[in-house]
Amino acid sequence: MYNTRIDLALAIREKSIPLLQARLVDSIDLFTQIKQAHWNVKGPHFIALHQLFDSIAEIVEDHSDLLAERITSLGGRADGTARVAATQSALREYPLDIKSGRKHVAAVADQLAAFGKSVRAGIDSATQSGDADTADIFTEISREIDKQLWFVEAHMQAED
């Protein structure tokens, strides 16, 4: 752990850094999964979904940066390589064999929901350990992921 003048006790930082690291690797994995959907979606709603998935991927990428920067500001080391993310992500593997817009929408929605759930658990953990700023970061991410999940789920909720 690196020295820092942040006035959070070492014990608090030692709890927050692993929480943040776990969500960092999930966010990196989520980013690549959404890009998979973006690159491979097909069907009558191609352009809308292609653009939606790209927009969400950019948001998730920004979340990765926010998480990594919080880790390092607390004196930790942010481990965010593709190999680290692949071995440590809690997200399920994205199905590579799908093409249809509806199936990509469902797969992306599942992954956004799973990520959102784990981020919300991080809010509670960070709050309990006394790190309000980390809890606030998780809250910010949770709110945005819920919004993006709403955008994605709206594609499944339409009446045909």
Select the more confidently predicted residue: 159 or 2.
Answer: 2
pTM of the model: 0.95
Task: Give the confidence band of 158 by pLDDT, cuts at 50, 70, 90.
Answer: low
Task: Give the confidence band of 160 by pLDDT, cuts at 50, 70, 90.
Answer: low
Domains parsed from the chain with CATH numbers? 10-157 (1.20.1260.10)
CA angle 27, 32, 33 (to 5 degrees): 95
Predicted confidence (pLDDT) at residue 90 exceeds the cutoff of 80: yes
| Rg of the chain (C-alpha set) | 17
* Helices then strands, each counted (H, E), the chain: 5, 0
Whether 6 contacts 74, CB under 8 Å: yes
With 0-12 / 13-18 / 19 or more C-beta atoms within 10 angstroms meaning exposed / middle / buried, residue 37 is: buried
* Cα torsion 59, 93, 149, 127: sign: negative
Mean pLDDT score across all residues of the chain: 96
The tens digit of pLDDT for each residue in 137-150 reads: 999 999 999 999 99
For position 114, what pLDDT does the model report?
98
For position 83, what pLDDT does the model report?
97
